[in-house]
DNA sequence: ACCTGAACACCGTTCAAGT
DNA sequence: ACCTGAACACCGTTCAAGT
């Protein structure tokens, strides 16, 4: 039976979720679909385009409008939804981040971030710039968060040499303890930094070009 | 005459600047040094480590302390210096960004961003989070800026089909005109967003955990 | 229309063996 | 100590030829 474009996409998502971005190669994908590598190029012109389609799948659902009428809540919700979408797939943040430069310009997600600004008094240009700044933050934070989480998964398997139900070790976290804690709270902190910055811009729009 | 570690590093920087990150392969580097690929593995255990050393070179000089006593100027100067360092090498932003997750935790640059916060009343934890948020922004913005600039270079060679000294075309920039303009000004806008957000945090530290 | 077979031009890394 | 030679196990992409 014939391979359809959707099958290729589903196969790619499956490899991504199970084995990660590094294992998402055209040859491995072909093998998992029981087909020769060249066959994939009938459905997608190249790997870049395939990954773009995967990114669109990861990001789909982000465009349902927020039901709040507060601009700060709209920004916050959008940011949290984007983060959640990235975290929902293995290496999701890294993949979207890597494709971002060439594709996010035409993305719906970007437009929604912009709209959340223009709807509440920001000029088009300032809303664009604020949207990008926020996107950079969300992507950067989430790439970092996800890679740390994956490192910890590996560490959890490598560590625990004595007993799995040993009492909690105290004193081993002096290393990076300040960066521990609920990632969502850490995410929210940077988000609030942005939102407060935008609030200042809305309060006194003419300060935009001053160096702080 | 023998190959030293420094020669390998210099060769890597030369390929990066002349041909870009995609051409910075171990085999190409070996060829440019007149040596077999395996020889590089005597000086560096793997490519990742080599790239890490290249990143350190790109980022060296970032740790000279700022002479200002204003925290906002310290943040701003640090951010501008980081951006300048990234822009000083072809694909510099992309390279540093790619290595960031695994290496910036131990970077001097990160520590300086943190210090710029703690020196002026931010708690250690908040300063850490603010530093990361700002780093994500600078990296994201600069990767974007640099990739756009490189696309334009290609476009400038592909375009201009009639005459190189033709009068300026009007009407062709409706496409993305809002995102044109001085990149430094655009960079400053997002930077000010951050700094104003931090200012709000300094003014009322207890609002940190509220959703804006 | 859709896929195979087979090649092209590459990668990073390892390692016995040379000097 | 430092490097060569040669291999191993991969990549993405193309394209004549098959069905």
How distant is the Cα of A133 from the closest Cα of chain B, in angstroms? 6
Residue B203 has what pLDDT? 81
Q: What's residue B103's pLDDT? A: 75
Mean pLDDT of chain B, nearest integer: 86
Per CA to C1' distance, which residue is closest to C10? Answer: B27
pLDDT at residue number B166: 46
Q: Does B194 touch chain A (CB under 8 A)?
A: yes
Per-residue tokens: A159: 């560590």
Please give the helix or strand (H or E) that residue A48 lies within, else none: helix A47-59
Residue intervals of chain B classified under CATH 1.10.357.10 are 54-203
- Length in residues, chain A: 212
Q: What percent of chain A has pLDDT above 70?
A: 84
pTM of the model: 0.89
Answer whether CATH 1.10.10.60 is correct for domain B1-45. yes
The encoded tokens of residue A121 equal 């008094």
Q: Residue A181 — φ and ψ, nearest 5°?
A: 95, 170
Task: Note the pLDDT of residue A101.
Answer: 79
The nucleotides of chain C lying under 7 Å from a protein CB are 2-7, 10-16
Q: Which residue is nearest to nucleotide D2 (CA to C1')?
A: B42
Q: What percent of chain B has pLDDT over 90?
A: 61
What's the pLDDT at B163? 46
Three-class secondary structure assignment of chain B: CCCCHHHHHHHHHHHHHHHCHHHCCHHHHHHHCCCCHHHHHHHCCCHHHHHHHHHHHHHCCCCCCCCCCCHHHHHHHHHHHHHHHHHCCCCHHHHHHHHHHHHHHHCHHHHHHHHHHHCCCCCHHHHHHHHHHHHHHHHHHHHHHHHHHHHHHHHHHHCCCCCCCCCCCCCCCCCCHHHCCCHHHHHHHHHHHHHHHHHHHHHCHHHHHCCC
Mean pLDDT, consecutive 10-residue stretches, chain A (212 aa), reads 95 98 98 98 98 96 85 94 98 95 77 86 90 96 94 69 46 50 94 95 60 40
Torsion over CA of A112, A117, A122 and A127, rounded to 10 degrees? -50
Protein residue at shortest CA distance from C1' of C2: A42
**pLDDT tens-digit series, residues A114-158:** 888 888 888 899 999 999 999 999 999 999 999 999 888 877 666
pLDDT at position A105, please? 65
Residues 123-162 of A with CB under 8 A from B: 124-126, 128-130, 132-133, 135-137, 139-141, 143-144, 147-148
Residues of chain B with CATH 1.10.10.60: 1-45
Residue B156 pLDDT exceeds 90: no
| A29, A11 Cβ separation under 8 angstroms | yes
Domain B54-203: what homologous superfamily? Tetracycline Repressor, domain 2 (1.10.357.10)
Closest to B193 (Cβ–Cβ): which among A135, A198, A209? Answer: A198
Q: What is the pLDDT of residue A116?
A: 84
**Whole-number Å distance, CA A96 to C1' C1?**
33
């Amino acid at each position: 039976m014939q391979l359809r474009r959707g099958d290729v996409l589903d196969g790619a998502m499956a490899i991504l979720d199970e084995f990660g971005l590094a294992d998402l190669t055209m040859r491995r994908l072909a093998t998992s679909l029981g087909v020769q590598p060249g066959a994939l190029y009938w459905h997608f012109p190249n790997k870049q385009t395939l990954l773009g389609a995967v990114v669109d799948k990861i990001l789909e659902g982000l465009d349902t409008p927020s039901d709040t009428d507060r601009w700060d809540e709209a920004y916050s919700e959008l940011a949290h939804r984007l983060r959640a979408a990235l975290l929902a797939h293995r290496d999701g943040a890294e993949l979207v981040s890597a494709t971002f430069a060439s594709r996010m310009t035409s993305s719906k997600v970007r437009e929604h971030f912009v709209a959340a600004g223009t709807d509440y008094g920001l000029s088009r240009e300032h809303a664009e710039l604020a949207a990008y700044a926020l996107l950079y933050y969300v992507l950067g934070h989430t790439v970092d968060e996800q890679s740390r989480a994956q490192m910890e998964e590996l560490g959890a398997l490598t560590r625990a040499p004595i007993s799995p139900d040993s009492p909690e070790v105290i004193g081993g976290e002096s290393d990076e303890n300040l960066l521990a804690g609920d990632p969502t709270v850490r995410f929210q902190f940077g988000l609030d930094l942005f939102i407060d910055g935008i609030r200042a811009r809305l309060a006194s729009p003419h300060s935009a070009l001053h160096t702080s």
